[in-house]
Amino acid sequence: MQVVLGPNRYGKAETRLVRVVRDGDVHHLKDVNVSTSLSGEMEQVHLTGDNAAVLPTDTQKNTVYAFAKKHGLRQIEDFALLLAAHFVDTQPTIHHARVEIEEYLWRRLPERGHSFVRDGTEVRTCLVHHDRDGRSTVVSGLKDLVVLNSTGSEFHGFLQDGYTTLRPTTDRVLATAVTARWRHARPPADYGPSHARVRQDLLDAFAGTHSLSLQQTLYAMGERALTGGPGLCEIRFAMPNRHHFLVDLAPFGLDNDNEVYYAADRPYGLIEGSVLREDAPDAGFAWE
């Protein structure tokens, strides 16, 4: 039997970088987690351990820090593109680079120039690819945006089989932690305002949709993100249904008119879906 090497990549994951920019007494903070991953002429390192084509993951980490100094770090998408292009353009054995960045958000304290407090559980994300044919792709996104509607959500009219015990409801709590990732038809002038706009559209659609199912809410959020401003051609979601079960208080002689809930951990519903423009260009390796 003949055995061969299949698809592979290697890199440095989770390089934690904080950059401080001083604008007089006012400081600006960027707090990111960078994962780089390279592929190319990697047969020999796998077959014989010959590292001649391998740029060490330690060097990738150093490059992340050095680039934050040399080139600055404003929008994570731009920083990721810079890194990805660098690896491919400077090392002939590297044919493809993948860079993923998480950004943690901080809020400057009022009337303080250099004091900050972490702002929410939410994380801004991006995933960038660049190959030696000069093709680049950018996926922007966010995760752990935790939202809840305390009414305005129903669930009924579903399929029933011999294993169905769930009763329909016309008023329930709907809660989720949104993971959303999107790509632009063409790059926006600035990824910052584009991100803020999409995020706001997602919140507006989540809050503004009278929901008959979490899928309907997901689609409404995607539609709003695509039509609420210029540029997006596709958006993908993963939304766990963080169940809030109404507690049965009847044994204690109490009503429970949608007031007291048990917030469950596991199991949970998990809704995944994508919304795209009919004319969305091919994604290539963007999502990989």
Comparing C-alpha atoms, which of 153, 175, 164, 147 is closest to residue 269? 175
Residues between 92 and 131 that touch its own copies (CB under 8 A) = 93, 106, 109, 112, 114-121
> What minimum distance in Å lies between the beta carbon of 101 and its own copies?
13
* 114 classed as catalytic: no
> What minimum distance in Å lies between the beta carbon of 189 and its own copies?
19
Q: CA dihedral defined by 204, 210, 214, 218, rounded to 10 degrees?
A: -40
Q: For the window 167-186, what string marks contact with its own copies as x by the rule CB under 8 A? A: ------x-------------
Question: Measured between alpha carbons, how far is 221 from 219 in angstroms, rounded to an integer?
Answer: 5
Our finding on whether 193 is near its own copies (CB under 8 A) is no
* Nearer to its own copies (CB atom), residue 134 or residue 158: 158
* 121 classed as catalytic: no
Our finding on whether 1 is near its own copies (CB under 8 A) is yes
Our finding on whether 16 is near its own copies (CB under 8 A) is yes
Looking at 75, 137, 149, 194, which residue binds its own copies (CB under 8 A)?
A: 149
Looking at 95, 132, 136, 216, which residue binds its own copies (CB under 8 A)?
A: 216
Question: Measured between alpha carbons, how far is 7 from 288 in angstroms, rounded to an integer?
Answer: 12
Contact present, 183 and 234 (Cβ < 8 Å) = yes
Residue with tokens 């060097």: 59
Cα 163 to Cα 21, 159, 160, distances in angstroms: 59, 11, 8
Residues between 27 and 56 that touch its own copies (CB under 8 A) = 27, 29, 31, 35, 37, 42, 45-56
Question: Measured between alpha carbons, how far is 63 from 102 in angstroms, rounded to an integer?
Answer: 17
> What minimum distance in Å lies between the beta carbon of 253 and its own copies?
8
Our finding on whether 196 is near its own copies (CB under 8 A) is no
Our finding on whether 286 is near its own copies (CB under 8 A) is no
Contact present, 170 and 154 (Cβ < 8 Å) = yes
Our finding on whether 146 is near its own copies (CB under 8 A) is yes
* 61 classed as catalytic: no
Our finding on whether 71 is near its own copies (CB under 8 A) is no
Cα 136 to Cα 61, 74, 219, distances in angstroms: 21, 19, 28
In terms of Cβ atoms closer than 10 Å to its own Cβ (0-12, 13-18, 19+), residue 253 is: exposed
Our finding on whether 189 is near its own copies (CB under 8 A) is no
Q: Which residues are catalytic?
A: 12, 57, 243
